[in-house]
Amino acid sequence: MAKFYHVLNYGCQMNESDAEHYAGQLKELDYTYTGDVRQADVVVVNTCCIRESAELKILGKIGELKHVKAQHPGQIICVTGCMAQKDGEALLKKYPQIDLLLGTSYVNSFKDVIRDYLEGHRKGVYTSLEVQSSEFEGQRVRESGFSAWVPIMYGCNNFCTYCIVPYVRGRERSRSIANILEEVRAAVAEGYTEITLLGQNVDSYGKDFLRNHEEEKLTSVTAAAGLISDEALRKEPFAALLRAVDQVPGVERIHFMSSHPRDMTEEVIKAVAEGTHLCEHFHVALQSGSDRILKAMNRGYTGERFLELIQMIRKYVPKASITTDIIVGFPGETEEDFAATCKLVEEAKFDSAFTFIYSKRSGTPAARMDDQVPEDVKHARLEALMQVQNNRSLCINRRLEGETLEVMAEGPTEKDPDTWSGRTRTGKLVLWPQQEAAEIRPGQLVQIKIESGQTWLLKGRRVR
Ligand code: SAH
Ligand code: SF4
Ligand code: F3S
């Protein structure tokens, strides 16, 4: 009898990538995807705990699954990812409908855990952070038909004082360059032309190998053969990796995220400037424009240093889009600190920004700091900051009116099948009328003349 699985994913791109890997392993165990959670024999809830709002949403969903499971005896509910890592056993006690709890370092061993469960039907909690294979094995079921996530490193060593990620994802572990190139080549062979290299701090790629005397994981010439010199790999592993991926035949577009303003180098920016397929988009999280708050956040740069980096990007890659993340209401943030953030946002001229209200994460240093900012103040600051950024985004996007841009088509919009959406190399969303479905497929590169630049998107029409 056919067996079905369903995956519910929350959180960042790294989680999306992990979810594809969970799905891949279920496929290897002969499960088939179903869009209907009620039909699923195995349900995976891949969780995030970056902010309290994310957790509340997920807990609501896990609550609902109790009723789904009541109608489907024998259904296996697996809760995976960052919240599972953080709360472990406590989650299982509170939600007895959960059968398996897997922390973030079990992504590669999911198949074995399921097999064990099928034999003994015993609930299990797997949250050791020791089982850390950073090499990717097995298959994936990718969500997109043309765009592929490729993690280059896992974990984070930065311990920004507000952030839970280092506690739930463990220390930085890079994947060997051979393993990364193998996945890129395999993806291209399956028809994927867009590659996004993922890591919490991509500029740290490979530094763990250099520290641990595992240089061969960077310089295994057989894999990188002819693509890049061993010396370049040893000197600036991330920049060299970018140049190597750029040379893989068949790759059309390469993106990477996230970059840390403290660690991004001139060499990385030059690699983008000189590359063919490396896209002109930099996501560099500012977090705050106040030096005092940046220090309390343990970010390792000042507002001035951040602006220098922005200038350097604009010097080498004048057409680059630059996006960012900002937190308002970090403990102790005064009106003056917040004004400094708004000022810096004006000066940096970001294409867009993800803005967040600080959320207290227990176990992190910031959660224990005095002067937590009241909720209403945080909300007012978020509104004000979004206004500043929205005005800028609109202004930048308006300037693109009249230009013809290369757009990678994604598919018809949900609202209107005759309108397609896609992305520019700089990551901007573009909509255009597309009546002849036969003339286009997802992943295709088309030329769109921009007619209207708006705050969140561009609208245009197809030319040629
Ligand atoms: N490693 C990446 C992304 C980290 S999570 C980076 O450093 O760029 C994505 C964003 O969530 C962060 O950049 C930060 O802006 C936000 N974030 C992290 N912890 C948060 C918290 N406790 N409250 C509010 N926002 C937070
Ligand atoms: Fe969190 Fe900072 Fe690491 Fe990003 S760099 S994941 S914000 S600790
Ligand atoms: Fe969330 Fe974990 Fe990503 S906490 S943002 S899913 S690394």
Cβ atoms within 10 Å, residue 464: 6
Proportion of the chain above pLDDT 70, given as a percent:
97
Which residue type occupies 386?
Answer: M
Nearest to 268 by CA among 212, 215, 313, 218: 313
pLDDT digits (tens, 9 = 90+) for 225-250: 677 888 888 899 999 999 999 999 99
pLDDT tens-digit map of 53-91:
999 999 999 999 999 999 998 999 999 999 999 999 999
Which residue's CA is the closest to the ligand 2 atom numbered 4? 200
Cis check for the bond before 258: say yes or no (omega within 30 of 0).
Answer: yes
For the segment 196-222, what is each residue's pLDDT rounded down to a tens digit?
A: 999 999 999 999 999 999 888 888 765
Between 119-123, 369-373, 379-383, 404-408, the lowest mean confidence (pLDDT) is in 119-123
Report, as an integer, the average pLDDT of 17-32.
Answer: 95
Who wins on pLDDT, 216 or 310?
Answer: 310
* pLDDT higher than 70, residue 266: yes
14 lines ligand 1 (CB under 6 A): no
Is the pLDDT assigned to residue 291 strictly greater than 90? yes
Q: What is the pLDDT of residue 229?
A: 84
Please state the pTM of the whole predicted model: 0.95
Q: 10: pLDDT confidence band, cut at 50, 70 and 90?
A: very high
What's the gap in Å between 445 CA and the centre of ligand 3?
31
Give the confidence band of 189 by pLDDT, cuts at 50, 70, 90: very high
Per-residue confidence (pLDDT) for residue 437, from 0 to 100: 76
Q: For the chain, what percent of residues have pLDDT higher than 90? A: 88
Chain-wide mean pLDDT for the chain?
Answer: 94
Q: Is 253 in the pocket of ligand 2 (CB under 6 A)?
A: no
pLDDT band at residue 317 using 50, 70 and 90 as cut-offs: very high
Number of neighbours of residue 3 by Cβ within 10 angstroms: 13
**pLDDT tops 70 at residue 381:** yes
**Ligand 2 site-directed mutation target among 85, 160, 198, 356, most atoms within 8 Å of CB:** 160
Give residue 162's pLDDT band: very low, low, confident or very high (50, 70, 90): very high
Is pLDDT at 223 greater than 60 in this prediction? Answer: no
Measured in degrees and rounded to the nearest 5, phi and psi for residue 248 equal -70, 120
Which pLDDT belongs to residue 44?
Answer: 98
Specify the ligand 3 atom closest to the Cα of 164.
4
Q: Which atom of ligand 1 is nearest to the CA of 156?
A: 1
Q: Does 434 score more than 70 pLDDT?
A: yes
The band of 270, judged by pLDDT with boundaries at 50, 70 and 90, is very high
Is 80 exceeded by the pLDDT of residue 422? Answer: yes
Tell me the longest C-alpha to C-alpha distance in the chain. 65
pLDDT above 60 (res 179): yes
